[in-house]
Structures are given as C-alpha cells and as structure tokens.
Amino acid sequence: MPMRLWSRFFAKPPAEPVGPQFGALPYRMVDGQLVVLLITSRGRGKWIFPKGRQMEGKTPWESAELEAYEEAGVVGEIETTPIGSYFLPVTEERPQPIEVKMFPLLVTDQREDWKEMGQRYRHWAVLPEAKRLITHDGLADVALALAQRETSRSVSRRAPLQA
C-alpha cells in the first residue's frame, strides 16, 4: 500500500486547537510561611496545581477557581491577575507547548468530598518541599514568585510607619 494512501486512512486525528490554559495556585499563610496545595495529575501522578482550559462563559480566573474546586476540593479568594505562567512541554499528543497562566487562590475552605477525589491525591507543602515535588519546568518558579510577594507583604505590614 503506498504511504500516501496508508496515511490517508490511518493518520492521527487533527490535534485539538492549542490555546492557553489557566490554573489556580492554592495557598495559605501558616505562621508567616507560605504553604501551597499540590495535587497529582490523573495520568502520571505528577505533583501539579489545578489547571485546565477556559470554560465557556467564564473568565480565565473563574475557570481556574472552578478547576481548583473540582480537582482539589478547595474554595477561596481568587485573584484576577496571574502571578506568573509556565509552559506544558511538547508531547506526542501535544504538538506545541501550551502556556498555563496561574492565578493565586487564598484558600478559605477545604472540602472533604469533591468531584475528582477518587482520581487525585492532594498535599499541603511548604515551598522547599513543593520545589522538590514539582517536575514541570517553571511551575516551582511561579510558587516562588507568590512566596516572595507574600513575604514582602508580611514584612511591610509589620514595618513601623516613618514620620
């Protein structure tokens, strides 16, 4: 069978449109230290933050907030400006990298039951541990940017006023 005919019948289906994804970076401050909530990916069990495509009728940050609820069972105060982004690498299923913009989510409640609880683990981690667990390039840097921002906010709240 000529190769052109073969590829016509057995070619891979066209890839889905590639666009940015949006994620939540769930966090809390505990004794002045940032802790972040990691979840495992469904496919390979890697430690990540909740993320997904923009949902119809939702803003990027609303989509990220909903992903955090579905994937990690947390709710809180989502910010409307991303703290940073990272790129999902090229794979066999993904022909080009995908940017994931991350929105900080200050967690106010953690549910015991949530939509994907049977498919994922979740784990609160301080930054050094989170950096060890995260394998996606750039993802730990986004958490570090949030930690630096929160630390500087904490210091500025404690600083005495200058006359």
pLDDT in tens, the chain (163 residues): 455 544 455 555 445 556 899 999 999 999 989 999 999 999 889 999 999 999 999 999 999 999 999 999 999 999 999 999 999 888 888 888 999 999 999 999 999 999 999 999 999 999 999 999 999 889 999 999 999 999 887 666 554 555 5
Which 8-state DSSP code applies to residue 70? H
Contact 114, 72 (CB under 8 A): yes
CA 84/CA 50 separation, integer angstroms: 14
Q: Residue 63's domain is classified under what CATH number?
A: 3.90.79.10
* Whole-number pLDDT of residue 35: 97
Number of domains in the chain: 1
Query: Could you tell me if residue 2 is inside a domain?
Result: no
* Whole-number pLDDT of residue 1: 47
Give residues with Cβ within 8 angstroms of 142, minimum separation 6: 25, 83, 84, 85, 86, 102
Which residues on adjacent β-strands are paired with residue 103? 24
Q: How far is CA 21 from CA 37, 59, 92, in A?
A: 19, 12, 18
Print the domain residue range for 58.
19-157
